[in-house]
């Protein structure tokens, strides 16, 4: 077994690439977070409130995009549907994640006591008002923990976008490896950054939860 000389200096030398990758990852994650949340709420609400004749298609959406690996979805949007790199990455990541978020929202809404629904209806609220003002806020607060997990999944799945050429963190780890052959050092640096990102999401979601608890009493 031959020795492997560690050379951590390459990380300093190539910190520009690491920074580029970090920025690209954060960009992709931020956009996909918003899009997938929006899509997920839409689909989840539609599934809960539309009559079965219409809601089945949203159910199909959920089942379909949850059960196809993200890399396949990325490849489809980029190579088959021919979108550009970032749009394909955003669509692939958001659609996949929204299928999971839809389920989370649905169970969050269904966990709200029906008495609130009845009270709202009997005081003359339309269904839309009911959803927007009563159900969604409560549901969203209830499901902050599982949403947090899905957001961390967005961070993790963003790494897969490297396969369609999106120059995010994992891509840059391979770039550094290609230039310096220091794969171990590069992988370490990038792994630490991913862990930092995951921690950031945890802390932010925790912050949201404490904020929400202050202004809405939870029984």
Name the residues that contact other proteins, by CB under 8 A.
1-6, 63-64, 66-73, 75-76, 79-80, 82, 84-85, 100, 103-104, 107, 146, 149-150, 152-153, 155-160, 162-163, 165, 167, 170-171, 173-175, 177-181, 183-184, 187, 190-191, 194-195, 198-199, 202, 206
Q: At its nearest, how many Å lie between other proteins and the CB of residue 182?
A: 9
Of 76, 90, 94, 80, which is closest to residue 166 (Cα–Cα)?
Answer: 90
**Closer of 83 and 125 to other proteins (Cβ):** 83
Q: At its nearest, how many Å lie between other proteins and the CB of residue 39?
A: 18
**Closer of 55 and 188 to other proteins (Cβ):** 188
Instruction: Say if CB 1 and CB 146 are below 8 A apart.
Output: no
DSSP state of 78: I
**Closer of 88 and 130 to other proteins (Cβ):** 88
Q: At its nearest, how many Å lie between other proteins and the CB of residue 127?
A: 26
**Closer of 135 and 159 to other proteins (Cβ):** 159
Interatomic CA distance for residues 90 and 83, integer angstroms: 10
Interatomic CA distance for residues 8 and 186, integer angstroms: 9
Interatomic CA distance for residues 61 and 50, integer angstroms: 14
Output the CA–CA distances (angstroms, integers) from residue 50 to 55, 171, 188, in the order listed.
Answer: 5, 42, 48
Q: At its nearest, how many Å lie between other proteins and the CB of residue 51?
A: 22
Element (H, E) at 180: helix 169-180
Helix (H, G, I), strand (E, B) or coil at 82: coil
Positive or negative, the CA dihedral 70, 73, 79, 85 is negative
**Closer of 82 and 122 to other proteins (Cβ):** 82
**Closer of 120 and 143 to other proteins (Cβ):** 143
Q: At its nearest, how many Å lie between other proteins and the CB of residue 70?
A: 7
Q: At its nearest, how many Å lie between other proteins and the CB of residue 177?
A: 7
């Amino acid at each position: 077994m031959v020795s492997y000389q560690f050379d951590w200096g390459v990380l300093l030398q190539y910190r520009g690439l690491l920074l580029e990758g970090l920025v690209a990852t954060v960009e992709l994650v931020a956009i996909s977070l918003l899009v997938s949340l929006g899509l997920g709420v839409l689909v989840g609400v539609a599934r809960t409130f539309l009559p079965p004749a219409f809601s089945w298609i949203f159910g199909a959406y959920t089942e379909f995009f949850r059960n196809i690996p993200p890399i396949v979805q990325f490849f489809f949007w980029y190579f088959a549907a021919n979108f550009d790199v970032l749009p394909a990455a955003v669509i692939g990541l958001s659609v996949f994640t929204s299928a999971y978020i839809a389920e989370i929202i649905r169970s969050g809404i269904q966990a709200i006591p029906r008495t609130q629904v009845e009270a709202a209806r009997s005081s003359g609220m339309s269904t839309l008002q009911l959803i927007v003002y009563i159900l969604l806020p409560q549901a969203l607060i209830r499901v902050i923990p599982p949403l947090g997990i899905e957001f961390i999944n967005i961070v993790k799945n963003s790494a897969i976008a490297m396969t369609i050429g999106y120059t995010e963190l994992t891509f840059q780890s391979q770039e550094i490896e290609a230039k310096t052959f220091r794969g171990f050092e590069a992988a370490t640096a990038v792994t630490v950054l991913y862990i930092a990102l995951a921690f950031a999401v945890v802390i932010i979601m925790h912050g949201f939860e404490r904020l929400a608890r202050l202004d809405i009493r939870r029984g």
